[in-house]
A and B are shown apart, each in its own frame.
Chain A
Amino acid sequence: MQSGTPTPDYRQALVIATRAAPQAKWLGLRYLDETLTLRNFRDGLPQTNQVDRSAGIQIEAFVDGHFGYASTSRLDAHGIEEAARRAELNARAAAPFAVHRFDIDQVRPPSQGRYLSPRTIPLSHVGTRAQADLLVRICEKLKTSPRITRTSAMIRLVESRSRYLSTNGADIEQDFEKTSIDFAATAREGNVTQKRTDGGMFARSFQGGFEGIESADLWERVARVARQAEELVLAPDCPTETLPMILMPDQMMLQIHESIGHPLEIDRILGDERNYAGSSFVRLEDIGSLQYGSPLMNVTWNPELRNEFASFAFDDTGARAARQDLIRNGKLVAGIGGLESQARSGKPGAATMRASSWNRAPIDRMSNINLEPGTSTLAEMIASVERGVILETNRSWSIDDYRNKFQFGCEYARLIENGRITGVLKNPNYRGITVPFWHNLAEVGTEDTFEVAGVPFCGKGEPNQAIRVGHASPPCLFRDIEVFGGEG
């Protein structure tokens, strides 16, 4: 952490807040100090070379069964005192109009504990010059031929430290390091331009130190991205047909995120998001009964995979996080809802009320949502297809506000004919409707094909919040999918 903003005495801050808000039955204090480093190079030249540090406190006050909050970057006694008064006033003024009267013991547990991200090479051990040199080298290696007209490489590094204290005894400290890397080659041939990236916009997002950036397979991936960009500009468009389709893990991530993660969020089902992100086709009564997809479909909420992007020990209300099933053998068994949504709905959920920063209140977020491995190897899946496609790497995503009708586009596809890969296809897209789509899940990859990915910017909430989530999956085969190519 950098110098500059003094680290407050949290316990003293809570004492000050308690004095300033005497009508509050309960107070919570969440301090976050986060440093985000962004470096982005294009054609070897720096485009962004930025370090953002955000440190602040959110105080929550509980009055008459309702919460009010106040966030401030002023961390001295005056700032804490004013925030506490505002939080109490917000709670008091809104309590007569509250959507639900909460029981504080049910929704703010007095948890205590610590969490530290795993890290082999701490981010502080790799300086600006080394980071910049790496990005320049990636750009150079991507430029493999005159057809490559543009190269880019970028990293995002997060160092985040939080402390959560409450008047009922919670005391939680969590210390995260997270990394994301992306690079891309754009190739041009005639009037065709195609861009190939390393798994999509920062899909290579992990928890941990710089080992997530400079990994053993980095240069092999760089070479592949350059090669595939050149393949794409010479490739035909994806055909317009209904075909079997294999999605590789970097596209499964998006498929899971949009058509499983968001519809299962209980705050969406309860209507909180209807003015912004949308609602859900899932109803509360579907939890425990809806056959969401084929029996091969097993989906978990898993904050315990140590290198997955959104692993943690406690959410931002102090709830302890532990792996649990969401969909078992295709059947929906639990939603994604924190303690407040569980209290409002009476349904099982998960420790998943998280805030994007100190200036936003926690809401239901999906954290790590994974599709568990099955029994098919990738070779077996390909061999089982007479004519079909394999799609990799998301580049376009759109789904309706009830999470039914989706259309997703990918960067790179391959054609399968008679059980063999026979060519590369550009501009692949596919569309479908969530539940029928998941019922078409025909084969799920084995454990050794299971890959972890992440998303740094999942948008939701009013006020808006962009948060980090993780998804892991093997490749999967779906039958009878409408696929199509580009052009107008």
Chain B
Amino acid sequence: MSSAPTQFPRLGMERDAFRDLAQKAFSQLKSQDTEALTLQLSGEDTHYLRFNGARVRQTGTVRQTTLTATFQLRDTPQAPIREAVRSVELSSDIQADGLLVGELVAQLRAEAQSVPANPHSAWPGPSEESQENHPGQTLPLEEAPRALLAPAQGLDFTGIHAAGLVLRAVATSTGIFHWFTTELTNIDYSVVASSGRAIKGTWAGRSFDSESYIKKIDAARTLLPILERAPRQIPRGEHRTFLAPAAVADLIAMYSWGTIGEGPIRQGDSALARLRTGEIQGFSPLFSLREDFTTGSVPRFNGRGELAPSSLVLFEQGRFMNALVNTRSAREYQVTGNQANESESLRAPVMQAGSLPLDHAAQELGTGLWLSNLHYLNWSDQQSGRITGMTRHACLWVENGKPVAPIENLRFDDTLFRLLGSELEALTRETESQPETGTYAERQLGSCVTPGALLKAMRYTL
């Protein structure tokens, strides 16, 4: 393009504007002792470009700013709390948004008065502030189609580009004020072979970098020929297996699904309940997992404006050290909280690396399955930690340390306690960061850092 890129206004919600809006809302409270308000702001100005066959399927921009207000009411500072939540889209028009917020508080007060109190609800914490801004440079709308697709010409290149500003903030009537913005580009793609199998990849960064993006696509291009070979039918049963880092990240994601939180453990859903009581043995000494916010990929504060520890050990050499405990669970079960989010799910998981060099992994595997990605995991028996799922994308049969053919997709059905416990033989020295590319309702933030894992056996059932 020869002309300068078209400029559009920014998201329209700056830090000071949010502070002013919050103060307007807080001024509606009748008493700081009996009423509290927590405002969460979540905004984005995103350019989406969806591609198929290295051509554009759909493209557009989304500009949204959602305000979620939690109103709390108690008769006295010692009394149980009634709570109501409302969210609305802000317009970025300061006057209109101010009116909207004024109405919200009255609506919320009426609603909170209509529901029973919950003795486990907690008042917002004391005054605390933080600010993180991660600037970057995304592709102009005019240039994005060419910049993204020209390097992939000749490939069956399919996926999504999501780029732009993402904003998260929390303000409470007790004085908490946290602000987080990041420019972020995520490119989540598959390079598909004519066999239908694919090399899956992601590119993520605050500023788009053409050189490293092209390098990734070219690397995928070189891996395509093996996916075109006749696939190997693998019989059901147990097979020695190497899980690439992305496949390990799929397993770790299951900890967020009713497993690592104090709530599901106490309520009997989580497999870790049996680990606590000693009914089930723990994980391999090779397995260590922590929440680590130091990368700055996701805000440290949760929806209540509480700052999580920079690093929190969950498993140390196979031993279960800490569950994720939000403030409500802490009150309900009389334990110490660690500022987990509402769903007590992982936000910034980092799994510790091992000592196996990645480029020796095939050799150490010997003969078995090399799985690049897993797909559609779900519990087949949640309390036993038993998971089913599929192999997907570039999964290969390896013989004597050499990849020989892709495989027909296999279904596995095995337990976390075996896969990260008795069957775990080695972890790779190198780790990879899988960026969170989810976009349900809005762009999600975060990443999952994992090594590859060599397993003595994994159970395949179909």
Contact = CB atoms under 8 A, between A and B. Distances in A.
Q: Real complex partners, A and B?
A: yes
Contact of B379 (A58, A66, A409): A409
Max chain A C-beta neighbours (<10 A), residue from B56, B118, B417: B56
A464 B60 contact: no
A449 to B, nearest CB: 28
A86 B198 CA distance: 33
Contacts of B189: 275
Contacts of B277: 191
Nearest to B1: A93
Contacts of A96: 145
Contacts of A73: 63-65, 89-92
A214 B362 CA distance: 59
A331 B198 CA distance: 30
A50 B87 contact: yes
B4 interface: no
Contacts of B63: 70-74, 83
Contacts of A125: none
Contacts of A6: 96
User: Of A4, A188, A275, A464, which is in contact with the most chain B CB atoms at under 10 Å from its CB?
Assistant: A275
A97 B88 CA distance: 36
Interface string A257-291: 00000000000001110111011000000000000
Interface string A116-131: 0000000000011100
Interface string B263-290: 0000111000010010100000000000
A70 B87 CA distance: 22
Contacts of B56: 66, 94, 97-99
B425 interface: no
A186 B267 contact: yes
B141 interface: yes
Contact of B111 (A45, A51, A149, A397): A51
A357 interface: yes
B52 interface: yes
B60 A97 contact: no
A407 interface: yes
Contacts of B6: 85, 89
Interface stretch (A301-309, A426-434, A472-480): A426-434
Given A99-B53, A132-B116, A359-B64, A407 B413 contact: yes
Contacts of A397: 378
Interface in A196-244: none
Contacts of B62: 70-72, 359-360, 463
B247 to A, nearest CB: 14
A191 B273 CA distance: 10
Interface stretch (A153-161, A173-181, A398-406): A398-406
B61 A74 contact: no
Interface string A28-58: 0000000000010000111111111111101
Interface stretch (B130-138, B224-232, B310-318, B437-445): B437-445
Given A49-B83, A149-B268, A74 B92 contact: yes
Interface stretch (B30-38, B176-184, B215-223, B380-388): B380-388
Interface in B385-424: 385-386, 388-390, 392, 409, 411, 413, 415, 417-418
Contact of A274 (B48, B64, B158, B441): B158
Contacts of B52: 99, 270-272, 274
Nearest to B273: A193
A383 interface: no
Contacts of A85: 6, 8
Nearest to B390: A400
Interface residues of A, number: 96
Nearest to A193: B268
Contacts of A5: 88-89, 91, 100
A275 B159 contact: yes
Contacts of A97: 55-56, 145-146, 149
A488 B379 contact: no
Interface string A58-98: 10000000111111111110010011011101110110111
A384 B439 CA distance: 48
A451 B56 CA distance: 41
Contacts of A272: 50, 52, 57, 158
A82 B378 CA distance: 43
A129 B380 contact: no
A140 B149 CA distance: 59
Nearest to A130: B114
Interface string B57-81: 1111111111010000000000000
Interface in A359-400: 359-361, 363, 396-400
Interface residues of B, number: 103
B361 interface: no
A90 B46 CA distance: 12
A405 B440 contact: no
Given A97-B56, A463-B439, A86 B88 contact: no
Contacts of A361: 58, 60
B29 to A, nearest CB: 18
B240 interface: no
B344 interface: no
Contacts of A145: none
B388 A398 contact: yes
B193 to A, nearest CB: 11
A450 B110 CA distance: 42
B31 to A, nearest CB: 21
B100 A4 contact: yes
Given A74-B92, A463-B162, A93 B378 contact: no
Interface string B74-108: 00000000011111111111001001100110010
Nearest to B274: A191
A103 interface: no
Given A46-B115, A128-B114, A400-B409, A279 B381 contact: no
Nearest to B150: A97
A90 B116 contact: no
B213 to A, nearest CB: 16
A2 interface: yes
A488 B390 contact: no
B363 interface: no
Contacts of A274: 52, 158, 190, 192, 198
Contacts of B392: 278, 400-401
Nearest to B101: A4
A94 B190 CA distance: 20
B366 interface: no
Given A272-B52, A433-B462, A398 B390 contact: yes
A400 B107 contact: no
B15 interface: no
B142 interface: yes
A465 interface: yes
A75 B88 CA distance: 13
Contact of B87 (A46, A53, A56, A278): A53
B385 A488 contact: yes
Given A51-B85, A407-B461, A193 B383 contact: yes
A2 to B, nearest CB: 7
B119 interface: yes
16 contacts: A49-B84, A53-B89, A68-B59, A93-B59, A96-B145, A193-B268, A272-B57, A274-B52, A363-B58, A397-B378, A405-B411, A407-B380, A431-B462, A487-B384, A487-B386, A488-B417
Interface of B: 6, 8-9, 12, 46-53, 55-66, 68, 83-93, 96, 99-100, 103-104, 107, 110-112, 114-116, 118-120, 141-146, 149, 156, 158-160, 162, 188-190, 192, 196, 198, 200, 267-269, 274, 277, 279, 375-381, 383-386, 388-390, 392, 409, 411, 413, 415, 417-418, 438-441, 461-462
The 6 closest A-B pairs by CB, nearest first: A69-B60, A486-B381, A73-B89, A463-B439, A462-B160, A193-B268
Given A128-B84, A150-B268, 12 more contacts: A3-B103, A54-B89, A69-B59, A73-B63, A86-B141, A93-B141, A129-B114, A274-B190, A275-B198, A396-B388, A402-B196, A409-B378
